[in-house]
Chain A
Amino acid sequence: MKTLYFTKIDYIRSRTQLYLISVILAVVIMILKFITDGTDVMVFLYGIFITIVFSTVPFGNCSRKDAGFLQLLPATVWHRVLGRFLFGLSLLMIGSAISAGCMVVYRLYVGAEENVIVLPFCMIILSVGLVFITVQYIALYLVGENYGAQFLSLVRMIPGMCFFFGSMKLLEEARQNPESAMKLLELISDRPYVISLGSIVIALAVMAAGVVLCVKMTEKRDY
């Protein structure tokens, strides 16, 4: 229960940013309309990118002085770290739900052909998003919950950027090597559920390992 209370604190801290996700996505749809080769998957991709960036917000509000509040709450490091990861996880879920909604809006508004591999594709994007959130949480816990603020302003864009531009690069690559891209697409469309579920499971496992690692780091930390 205390874990969820920590998640709740993170939501209270980042509530303004939460509204922003939908606003930004609306803007993205508008922009994509004018890009000739835009696809609905790009809306989803962009949604996940924003979510990854915003998932770091609770670290940003967390400065040394907050210690008197957060660290003194009657709970253990486990509660605290797990609560933070649950925030990241649930935020990503909300983010992908909003993104999925926007995808539908995009289809209705701009139009795009039905495609069987869209769902597994989104699942894979989601899994990669989870792994990115895990990696950046580990990085932020590594610098310390309480020293995160300055570091964060420097790095918070980086993982999200890597994620977004990495995906773009992949798309580009796929265009230049249509054959290998086709092979990959075939692979996915052969077993869509195995692939999508498998990637989610792997991502969750990575996240679980990340939680353990972060708890160990935080337990050792001293100021």
Chain B
Amino acid sequence: MELLEVRNLSKYYKTFSLENISFTLPKGYIMGYVGQNGAGKSTTLNLITNICKCNGGEIYVNGITCMEDEIHYKEYIGYIGDEFYFPDNFRVRDIRRVMGDFYSSFSTEKFDELTKRWKLDEKLQLKEFSRGMKVKLMFASVLARDTKLLVLDEATNGLDPVVRAEVLKLLQEYIADGERSVIFSTHILSDLEQIADYVYFIHEGKTVLYDSKDDLMESFLLVKGERRAISARLQKELIGIIDNAYGFEAILPSDKADLLTNEFHFEKPTIDQIVIHYIDEKER
């Protein structure tokens, strides 16, 4: 069962366009949405949450589009942005009140439990909150109700490692029953490397790679060696050859490993390295 289905999504701006984005995310899995700043990550996520309207394509969340049933569509989604979206002069109790008003599934007990666990001050105006507290409050407001899909736009930005680890744990707990999914964009790729099931890699509004994370990481090798040792055939297969004073580094599809002689050193790459070399190749 697909929880999120994106078909031929397009969005045109004056200076940027998102073209033909298609992917599916089954129930109970986490997708990492990767790319540089300005690659179209936030645009895609804003289209999914319907903050922006697309110029073409369809988005289904739990089988419905926003056009068909706006209210249910929005109830399925829990969104956490890179910016804090609650008004500055609100307090925790105001959030509780407003969420309780609007969402039938909002559980005050769950919300209180989370805000207490994270020591979020009831009486403080939200503008006094630190970045970590703000992110926690957004999580509390979303996790206290029954959602199907979490959309996180750089939600772990500016968080210290302890809180970040806690957030990752929360995401895993969220999908643990196999009924709910998460899509999150980030450029802290180590987060993604740990818990993401699928990776979607976008560059300048176009799809570059889309696969399960394990397959993606296995389908490439990180190759290092001396530039002059590269044969013409190998040159064609290497992706994003980055030179330094004493050698080069590039990635190579694993099925071309037979082109490597023992002059080269190779190892398994991180997602970071795959992304860096792919972008280098694209920008050439």
Q: Interface of A with B (CB < 8 Å)?
A: 2, 5, 8-9, 12-13, 15-16, 61-62, 65-69, 71-76, 222-223
Binds A, one of B77-85, B113-121, B262-270: B77-85
**What are 24 A-B interface contacts by the 8 Å CB criterion?**
A2-B102, A8-B97, A12-B87, A12-B89, A12-B90, A12-B98, A62-B87, A65-B81, A65-B83, A65-B84, A66-B86, A68-B79, A68-B83, A68-B85, A69-B85, A69-B86, A69-B87, A72-B77, A73-B102, A74-B72, A74-B74, A74-B102, A75-B74, A76-B71
What CA separation (Å) do A66 and B98 show in the bound complex? 14
B245 CB within 8 Å of chain A: no
Q: Which of A13, A74, A222 contacts B87 (CB 8 A)?
A: A13
Which residues of B have CB within 8 Å of A61? Answer: 87-89
Across chains A and B, the number of contacting residue pairs, with CB separation under 8 Å, is 70
Task: Tell me the smallest distance from the CB of B67 to a CB of chain A, in Å.
Answer: 12
Chain A contact residues, majority secondary structure = helix
Query: A76, B77: Cβ atoms under 8 Å?
Result: no
Residues of B within 8 A of A72 (CB): 49-51, 74, 77, 79
Give the interface residue-count category, chain B: 20 to 34
In the complex, chain B residues whose CB is within 8 Å of the CB of A73: 74, 102
Given contact pairs A68-B81, A222-B52, a sample of 20 additional A-B residue pairs in the complex whose CB atoms are under 8 Å apart: A5-B98, A5-B101, A8-B97, A12-B90, A12-B97, A65-B81, A65-B83, A65-B84, A66-B87, A67-B85, A68-B49, A68-B79, A68-B83, A72-B51, A73-B102, A74-B74, A74-B75, A74-B103, A75-B74, A223-B51
Q: Which residues of chain A have C-beta atoms less than 8 A from B88's C-beta? A: 61
Interface residues of B in 91-107 (CB under 8 A from A): 94, 97-98, 101-103
- In the bound complex, residues from chain B placing their C-beta under 8 Å from that of A16 are 89
- Of B74, B75, B103, the most chain A CB neighbours within 10 A belong to B74
Residues in A with CB closer than 8 Å to B72 are: 74
Tell me if B214 is interfacial: C-beta within 8 Å of chain A: no
Which residue of the partner chain A has the closest CB to B71?
A74
A5 & B84 in contact (Cβ 8 Å cutoff): no
Instruction: Mark B51-82 against chain A: 1 for CB-CB distance below 8 A, else 0.
Output: 11100000000000000001110110101110
Chain B residues lying within 8 Å of A74, measured Cβ to Cβ, are 70-72, 74-75, 102-103
Q: Chain A residues near B79 (CB, 8 Å)?
A: 68, 72
- Residues in B whose Cβ lies below 8 Å from that of A222: 52-53
Instruction: Decide: A8 near B74, CB < 8 A? Known: A61-B87, A69-B85.
Output: no
Distance between Cα atoms of A73 and B53 in the complex (Å): 16
A71 and B51 in contact (CB under 8 A), knowing A5-B101, A5-B102?
yes
Q: Is the CB of B102 within 8 A of A8?
A: no
The 8 Å CB contact of B51, one of A2, A13, A62, A68, is A68
Q: How many angstroms from the CA of A12 to the CA of B85 in the assembled complex? A: 15
* Minimum-distance CB pairs A-B, first 5: A68-B85, A69-B85, A74-B74, A65-B83, A5-B101
A151–B101 CA distance with the chains assembled, in angstroms: 31
Complex CA gap A37/B74 in Å reads: 58
Query: How near does chain B come to A47, taking the closest CB pair, in angstroms?
Result: 24
Q: Is the CB of A66 within 8 A of B75?
A: no
CB closest residue in chain B, given A220: B53
Nearest CB of chain A from residue B227's CB, rounded to whole Å: 47
